[in-house]
Amino acid sequence: MRKVIREVFKIDTLSLHECNDGYYLYDYVLGMNLSMKAKTEQEAFIEGFLYYQKRLKEVKFEYTKLSDKVDIFVSQFVDEMG
Protein backbone atom coordinates (compact mmCIF):
# COMPACT_ATOMS: atom_id res chain seq x y z
CA MET A 1 0.00 0.00 0.00
CA ARG A 2 1.20 3.48 -0.86
CA LYS A 3 2.47 5.58 2.03
CA VAL A 4 2.93 9.36 1.74
CA ILE A 5 6.41 10.44 2.79
CA ARG A 6 5.93 14.18 2.19
CA GLU A 7 3.76 16.70 0.45
CA VAL A 8 6.02 18.46 -2.08
CA PHE A 9 3.38 21.10 -2.82
CA LYS A 10 -0.37 21.61 -2.93
CA ILE A 11 -2.40 24.35 -4.59
CA ASP A 12 -6.11 24.58 -5.37
CA THR A 13 -5.82 22.54 -8.56
CA LEU A 14 -2.73 20.32 -8.21
CA SER A 15 -0.70 18.48 -5.63
CA LEU A 16 2.53 16.53 -5.75
CA HIS A 17 3.32 13.94 -3.11
CA GLU A 18 6.39 11.84 -2.57
CA CYS A 19 5.34 8.34 -1.59
CA ASN A 20 7.23 5.18 -0.74
CA ASP A 21 6.79 3.96 -4.35
CA GLY A 22 7.40 7.25 -6.20
CA TYR A 23 5.88 10.65 -6.91
CA TYR A 24 2.16 11.23 -7.48
CA LEU A 25 0.79 14.28 -9.30
CA TYR A 26 -2.92 14.78 -8.64
CA ASP A 27 -5.26 17.12 -10.53
CA TYR A 28 -8.19 18.23 -8.38
CA VAL A 29 -10.06 19.69 -11.37
CA LEU A 30 -10.08 16.35 -13.20
CA GLY A 31 -10.24 14.35 -9.99
CA MET A 32 -7.45 12.00 -11.02
CA ASN A 33 -3.75 11.26 -10.79
CA LEU A 34 -1.80 12.56 -13.77
CA SER A 35 1.28 10.67 -12.70
CA MET A 36 1.80 7.70 -10.42
CA LYS A 37 5.01 6.08 -9.23
CA ALA A 38 7.25 8.56 -11.08
CA LYS A 39 10.90 8.25 -10.13
CA THR A 40 11.46 12.02 -9.80
CA GLU A 41 9.42 15.20 -9.38
CA GLN A 42 10.37 16.21 -12.92
CA GLU A 43 9.19 12.89 -14.33
CA ALA A 44 5.83 13.36 -12.60
CA PHE A 45 5.39 16.80 -14.19
CA ILE A 46 6.44 15.53 -17.62
CA GLU A 47 3.91 12.69 -17.39
CA GLY A 48 1.23 15.22 -16.43
CA PHE A 49 2.20 17.49 -19.31
CA LEU A 50 2.13 14.59 -21.78
CA TYR A 51 -1.34 13.62 -20.53
CA TYR A 52 -2.62 17.17 -21.16
CA GLN A 53 -1.06 17.20 -24.65
CA LYS A 54 -2.71 13.89 -25.54
CA ARG A 55 -6.10 15.05 -24.25
CA LEU A 56 -5.80 18.38 -26.09
CA LYS A 57 -5.11 16.54 -29.33
CA GLU A 58 -8.17 14.31 -28.76
CA VAL A 59 -10.42 17.25 -27.89
CA LYS A 60 -9.28 19.26 -30.91
CA PHE A 61 -9.97 16.27 -33.17
CA GLU A 62 -13.47 15.77 -31.70
CA TYR A 63 -14.16 19.51 -31.98
CA THR A 64 -13.18 19.50 -35.65
CA LYS A 65 -15.46 16.52 -36.36
CA LEU A 66 -18.38 18.18 -34.57
CA SER A 67 -17.74 21.55 -36.21
CA ASP A 68 -17.72 19.92 -39.65
CA LYS A 69 -21.04 18.21 -38.92
CA VAL A 70 -22.58 21.49 -37.73
CA ASP A 71 -21.32 23.31 -40.84
CA ILE A 72 -22.87 20.67 -43.10
CA PHE A 73 -26.16 20.84 -41.21
CA VAL A 74 -26.31 24.65 -41.27
CA SER A 75 -25.33 24.81 -44.94
CA GLN A 76 -28.50 22.89 -45.84
CA PHE A 77 -30.61 25.79 -44.56
CA VAL A 78 -28.36 28.54 -45.87
CA ASP A 79 -28.52 27.08 -49.39
CA GLU A 80 -32.32 26.91 -49.23
CA MET A 81 -32.60 30.57 -48.14
CA GLY A 82 -30.05 32.00 -50.54
**pLDDT digit string (tens) for the chain, length 82 residues:** 789 999 999 999 999 999 999 999 999 999 999 999 999 999 999 999 999 999 999 999 999 999 999 999 999 888 666 5
pLDDT at 82: 56
Give the Å distances, CA to CA, from 25 to 4, 5, 66, 73, 75.
12, 14, 32, 42, 45
* Domain count of the fold of the chain: 1
Whole-number average pLDDT of the chain: 94
pLDDT at 80: 64
pLDDT at 60: 98
Measured distance CA(62)–CA(47) in Å, rounded:
23
Question: Residue 15's domain spans which residues?
Answer: 4-81
